[in-house]
Structure 1
Amino acid sequence: MRFGILGETRAWHGGGEVPLGGPARRALLALLLVRPGEVVSADRLAEEIDPAGTRSAHSLQSQVSRLRAALGDGAAIERAGAGYRILVDPQHLDASRFERLAGEGRAALADGDAGRAVVLLTEALELWRGPALAALPESETARAAAVRLEEHRLGALEDRIEAGLRLGEHRAAVPELRELVARHPLRERLAGLLMRALSAEGGQAEALVMFEETRRHLADELGADPSAELTALHRELLSADPEPTPAAPPAQLTSFVGRADEVAEVAEMLRVARLVTLIGPGGVGKTRLSVEAAGLVGTGGAAGGPANQVCFVELAPLRDGAGLPQALLAALGLRQNGLQMDGGATTPVDRLIAALSDQVLLLVLDNCEHLVDDVAGLAARLLTTCPRLRVLATSREPLGIIGEHLFPVRPLDADAAVRLFSERAAAVRRGFTAGPGTVRRICAALDDLPLAIELAAARSRTLDVDDLAERLDDLLGVSRGNRTADERHRTLRSVVAWSWDLLSASEQRAARRFTVFVGGATAESAARVCGIDGGTLESLADKSLLDAVGGRYRMLETIRAYGAERLDEAGEQDSVRRAHAQHLAELVRTADPHLRRAEQLEWLPVVAAEHGDLLAALRWAVREPEVKTAFELLATAFTYLWIRGASASVAPTAIELLTAVGEAVPDGLGEEYATCVLLAASASGDAGGQVWQRHRAAAGKALAAAWPGDRRGRHPVTLLLWMMRNAVGPDPQGAYELVSSQRDCPDPWARAAAHYVSGFGHLGKGDPEAAEDAFGRALDGFRSLGERWGTALALGSLADTAGARGDRTRAIALTDEALVLTGRLGALEDSADLLVNRGDHLAGDDPAAARTDYAEAAALARRAGSSTYLAAALRGLGDMALAEGDLALAEQRYTDALERTDPHWIKSLGPRVRALTGLGRVAAARNHHAEARRRYRQAAEAADTVGAPVPEVLRMLGLARDVIESVLRPRHRAGEDGPHTGVGAAARPR
């Protein structure tokens, strides 16, 4: 038998409804079903059934007997003490089924499975047939039970709408959300969902109005301000130029000919579809069409639609799919690491999802054909998890995933091809004239492919158009000789080869050597690596073999691939690539000391411009017998890679290099070897951990030999990162002594870093005054160099020591100063870290400001895709909820934080210990003492991993005395050994 109380009280048995009788019996059944299996007193039943009090106990017994008769064997109504209870399988009661399905749907939503969440939540909500407990007379008890069920219903409805928004169903959700917000104007989650839906559909202004209306309602009705989450969403909508800035489509230097209708059609497709792929042969103009369509979408010109942010990602330089996520991160302007190492706790794909989950963005993926499987998998995952994302791809073949809309790009029509040739030829030859028939013959011979036409038109500068047409005819047999080859090889390759053959010997030599540059080059770099003079570079640019943009020369990928084959045939590949690698090594070697001084901001973009070539040089050096060059490249680029958060981009190459050399330290390269081990260990997954375990001991010995204390090594940043990587591990003491022994080192940056590390040693020994002195010396050292990264580290640590002794004003001022520096560096993760610290300092005196900082930190961490810093922010929000007595929300925040921490990394220590302690306090508040003791024991075990006395670690984390005692007391009660002594943590553990 099935029962229903989500609406009129009803019962069903077999295929039909059971007649229950009059209102009294329906009310009696509803009261028993509110909490099936629990005893309801006879007095309460009589009162609820008849609030007027006219029914007697005998009358109640009579109603119970009649209800039993009506239900038959379908359910048992038992007399229990002074009342009655009904025994029903929860699966046979609609309210119980609703709560189970709603809970499973919410869990699926929390796990990121929006599709499953929609199915479960829709099924749950379909169980409702009207107002809950409609059969009950009006009473306080009935009203409370109905309010509880209706609240659950509204929460499930919000969850279902949020799941739909994550799947991109913004437009369908807006009318429903408008109605719900009108009925529940004080419900902030509904307001936030409506703001997101409106913003996704281009209604940013309306979303802002929605926020203002909600704020006014909250102030007028409750005298309260909007929550931190809603305020953070408001700030996001107000941000006209959010950081980081995605890479814009490349600026075009020529007119766009013949495809106006296609541009409008692609833009319209993007208005209704979330994935559009432009497919066609090489050289047909897919890239240019994608740029023009993206520009139209970006300005809001598609069918009068809203403007969209556009990010353009050029995939042609990638050799395999391993670097695909990093390429997207770089194009989005997202650093892969913060000031502190997070140990790969988050994969690049996870960071992408976190960064894009709430962004309205058009992602243009150009030249996908050589990575089609990898691009398809990543695009499918991003589109599934990021509901406001749209993707425009160019490829020779479809990506082949659900929801893909294909747009075949055809060659130009005859008139457009003639016009394109004539315009390009007129641009290079003043007074150009030609009969339309001759030009048409040239274009037809080139299959009306835009790139082929552009290359041919460039030659009209030195050849008469009739000669050009005749020479083209002579080469047609060669260019079309292999009909079985793919379209690019049958057309574009022949055009490139023909254009190549028209170059002089010196121009051919210059062009083939230039192919070693994957990201383009300045004239100076081209001269040093390839021996190309300025005149030859300009000549190649004039003939469309190179593009000159922004002071750099770049080669089209199709031409570069052809030229690389010519370089190999000439037997020059090794010599030119060696010169290229040596040039990159010299560049980063020159930049490295400047990156630790006041010139930091000027030199970072200089090295960043060569990032693609740095990776290419590393790949070549690893695969060829150039081990010394590879190690030196990695070591000299280490400061740049770490400050820019790009260490993960070279981690696979570092692992490959270590695999090639084995476990023996190369002679004279001990410090470089240690740097390589650090970079390899930053790889995500098991690979980095395995390399670390295998090479850590040898690398530590090599680094100690390179930095004996009385003379300087070559790479001081390696010292600091070595300490950070060893802080949670088997031998923090040795790593600490290695770094702190550099306090009298000749290198000023190393001296400052040594004082910085020494401060944590003093904290671990319970000497905060000595720690503050050490941090102050570090600050003076970094400031004397004008180095912002180290200065931010020292300021943050000084802020912590000030906060620990109760000087919150100084702590906040120092943190503010550090935040200015991380902002200049573009360090989103580190800004999030500092905001959490400032929130901790503010929590006691100004909880509203603290909550704002935690919320801002969470938003920054999500944008940067950093789970470590998001965990810290969620822990802070959990503290706020606990202080306000909201145990359920506090438990959720702490649990979410705990799931995002990595127990093997020092930066996760603080969030982990404090989240575990918070969960213990939640359990204690609920009188679940066994669970509280278990959580406290876990917190103490986590604090024990850094080698410092547990009480000192807990005080370093800013935990109050009563919390410290609650953590330690269960350890002693369980008979565990007391905390041992050792070295303090090597990085601020918050």
Structure 2
Amino acid sequence: MDFGILGPLVVRSADGTEIAVGGPRPRALLTMLLLNAGRVVSLEQLIDWQYGDAPPAGAANAVQAQVSRLRRHLPVEFDAVGYRLAVPAESVDVHRFEALAGEGRRLLASGHPAPAAATLREGLALWRGPALPDLPFGQSQVARLEELRLSALEDLAEAELLLPAGDAQTRGPGGASVAALQELVEAHPLRERLVALLMRALRAAGRQAEALAAFDAARRRLADELGADPSPELTELNLAILRADRPAPRPGVAAPLTSFVGRAAELRLLATGARLTTLVGPGGVGKTRLATEFAAREPGEVCFVDLSPVTDEAGVAPAVLGALGVRESGLQPVGDPADRLAIALADRDLLLVADNCEQVVVAVARLMRRLLGECQGLRVLVTSREALGLTGETLVPLAPLPAPPLPASPGQGAAEAAAYPSVRLFADRAAAVRPGFELTDANAAAVTAICATLDGLPLAIELAAARLRTFPVEEIAARLAADGRFRLLSRGDRTAAARHQTLTAVVGWSWDLLTPDEQEQAARFSIFAGGATLEAAEEICGDVTDLVDKSLVVIDGGRYRMMETIRLYCAAHQPPEVAAEHAAYYLELARRADDHLRGAEQLEWLAALTADHANLMAALRHDPRTGRQMISALAAYWWLSGRRSEAGELAAGLLEEQPGQEEDYVSCVVHAVPRVEPSHWERAAAIIRGARTPFRHPFVVAMFGMLAGPFDSDNHTLLDSEPWTRALNRLGRALLQAMGGDPAGAERELEAVLAAFRTLGERWGVAQGLDGLAMVATWRGQWRRARELRGEALVLLEELGALEECGDILVRRAEALVREGDLKGAADDYRRADELFRKAGQPGRSTLGLGELARLEGRLDEAGALLERALEEAGQGGFVVEGAQARALTALGRLARARGDAPDEARAFHERAVGLARRSPLACDLADAVEGLAGAVPPDDAALLLGVAVALRGTAAVGDPDVARTAEAVRDRPEIFARGAAMSREEALTTLDRIVSD
């Protein structure tokens, strides 16, 4: 077997099949065992690394349970003091890395740089991301491994600097490592060995001035942050560079006027030694700047030719001749320009950079094919918006600089923002325009918004930075957000080419190079929000291959996309009929996907719909009829993916019943909660009762039942139309049976329902069945079973992305943890649930639980504020509103008693709770309220009410600390309790009425 922990945990069998490990706790446990492969890890250490300084009471049992699950697939052995994973250390990437790093350092110290470099590269290639991400409390181990990784990177750079020039198995000396070293120094500015390596690499590349600047920057940092001077070794290296002769100026390549930001990976790709390399990308992405930077670092002869002024194919060869300095003699032309070029370059080792070739790409291709065939020492670097299309051409696609996502993360500061090269580029150019400008926590949000809005497009970012002469950075961000990018970015460097002076000119240059058919395709493609699949692109636009070739459209993870800047430009030319075609396509996609969301393929189809979410929302807004149809077709998608709230306002605006759209009307009603009037609920219920054909989208009926509650209907047309709806109908009846006083019978039915959903492979239904069984297990005090059932349900719902459902499960698990006595674990679950509810647009659903916890822990003022808020929020609880309000009132009654309020005041809360719970369709709601009242009445009545609660619920609900306190007070009255528990529902209600009226 093979194991990886240098990145997310991965376990592979001997045949390479990946083995699933499970949730966060088992993954953390396995990570700890792998760190100590073949060695015993004590139980105490396993608990410390899993839970930190505050492990829960059952931590040891939890670890033992996790080990049991791991043993199904892995050789975990028990020792007297702990556990050992019986696998060889070399099967774990971290141990292989440590061995290779040590061997690489030994080879380097013994004077063998080539094998040292190969060994170190092999070790570093094992890293797939941050170390030990699955180990929550392993910070010391993470720090140790990251230090080893950094040391190995330093050793690798050292080895590469010692290699002779032209070693084919390495990156070569000096300049080839500069970009990587610059990034490392930026990340670790106080590490002097890295600074020294960067200085040596820059010197080897003939960039002495930059090497001296690197030393000066390091000296200032050491003084400012540590109050220290550079080491003698670093100072001596600086003096050695100062004594060296300055390099001669490089002809043919313009000296850059600005700093170079990012593109380290692309520079490495250009340095591979290919004879023909083409940098392709949209206008303004930085092709010329990258080509100039690479050419400046080239140690040999370079010729740089700008072909942007050339519009006639016949002018390409003469332009290259002119850049080479080859002149005609006499009064007559001397032969064909291409012939003269071939002669001039025949015996020269030269890098020819041909910039801006898109408008004469065919002529450039012909010329380069001839020259490369006849001139053995020639290498060519081309920049263009499309490839030359020659055999042997190496393409380096240039994307925009990585930009932060929108919206910006809450509280994002300067350090986090500066991790993005686009942000660093803006800050650099802004400082040139407005001296003293710095990226700070105060302006980081505005800067990240600018870079994200401009797609990370370097030229657009530079144009935006230039506007700091006129506007503050926040104003620039606001104007760009209002889609004023083309108007705002209308001024640039007046010495630049016309096509680079404004954002409109940048995109217009690419547009004008398209044929009429390509322009129509680009205009049609602009209808897509967030990109499109190949199928969708071909349906709406036809063959988009030419748009991809010309960098108007890019392929990103299997999807076809336009940068937003290009899309907005093309949208101005969009044919009027495209919006209707787009809406029709995505309505059909939503309908097709809905059939797969109730089976084993639901994850794949949820992912497909999520990828096209922006397009689906655009189609929904196309016209009212399509909007109502989309609301129905996407009902399952919105619910399962936790996006139901996104449709609410739109659905409320479409609440109009149209002939033939009755199902769509019902869907709008259930999605418009809580904005919908009672008359709409009544009409929706009537449509469901009277339906004579199955709904096209069964999840609409499911949502109505979940939100409106049980309703009297024997309409088998809807409830038994297909396997999923039959299973759902049984689930609803089983849950009502459990909460209506027959948990034992419900448990048997829930097991059968769970089996039906498992057969279908439908995760949401399985999760509901598991949660129902967990509810019954919690009442019985089967804590471990309840945790395992809800744990599996959470895993399934997290796979779906159902945030709201995950929050509900966490709230119910927290309630069970309170009964179990784990208040800290309950608080963690409540807080996590609250975060999920807020993300799903449903805040407040954890308030009651957090208020109860505050009361149990003695924080009575905090509890009062939370419980009052919970009572107010309970009024928005749909068909369970009475039960939710009753629970809040019961909690307020218990709080009144804890504060020492008058007994009558506490009892009043409980009697109000009982009155509301009497109207709930769920017997368990009334049982809970009755148990609350039992704590506020005389002992005989208290004992009787505790029995009545058991009769109503159909079982005792163990573990409630408040009920346990009441039961302890009346334990000498078992016969009274037994009399209440033996009552029928009618007798129980009569008894309850008598006690309340006394």
TM-score band w.r.t. shorter chain: 0.3 to 0.5
TM-score normalized by the length of structure 1 = 0.46
TM-score normalized by the length of structure 2 = 0.46
